[in-house]
A = this chain, B = another copy of it.
């Protein structure tokens, strides 16, 4: 598969637009023509960069995951305590959601997963696995350092935290203003403070 680091300028603009469209409407909710119009080129030019829709979306997910992992490293460099890291982690989701209630790319694709091409599913899966691994480490450290009080395994806390944030982006999108990821994350963290 193509790697996002090898994209030309035009191809990168295509990925930029496709990413937002996926966050808004999902894999089945946008077309090559939507992308073409927003980028300002024609449909066949999109196919030139990404022969199939599966190619395009896989690269979108790949780049999204890579950037997310960069953010995780950034959090590790900026915060020492587990609770601070979790707050910063929730803020990543909040930053996306604050832009017109955009969804996590992989949250949206995860919901649609059953009908997606394998290469896309694989990238989505990798995103969740990487996040769970990172969160598991944070919870284990928090428990060891005494800052967090766990009621079960670090793995289960990681799963719970990720699910709560992904869910926060889905719930209430219908219209009624509800709590966003940052507040949901804060509620959960407050339950685990030692």
Measured CB to CB, the residues of A under 8 A from B are 24-26, 28-29, 100-101, 103, 106-115, 121-122, 124-129, 132, 151-152, 156-157, 159-160, 162-168, 170-176, 178-179, 183-184, 187-188, 190-193
> Which residues of B sit under 8 angstroms from A179, Cβ to Cβ?
156, 159
> Which residues of B sit under 8 angstroms from A125, Cβ to Cβ?
172, 174-176
Q: Which applies to chain A's interface (DSSP): helix, strand, loop or mixed?
A: helix
Q: List the 6 shortest-distance A-B pairs measured between CB atoms, nearest first.
A: A167-B167, A125-B174, A163-B167, A28-B28, A166-B167, A151-B190
Given A125-B175, A170-B167, A174-B128, A112–B187 Cβ distance below 8 Å? no
Residue ID in chain B nearest A121 by CB atoms: B174
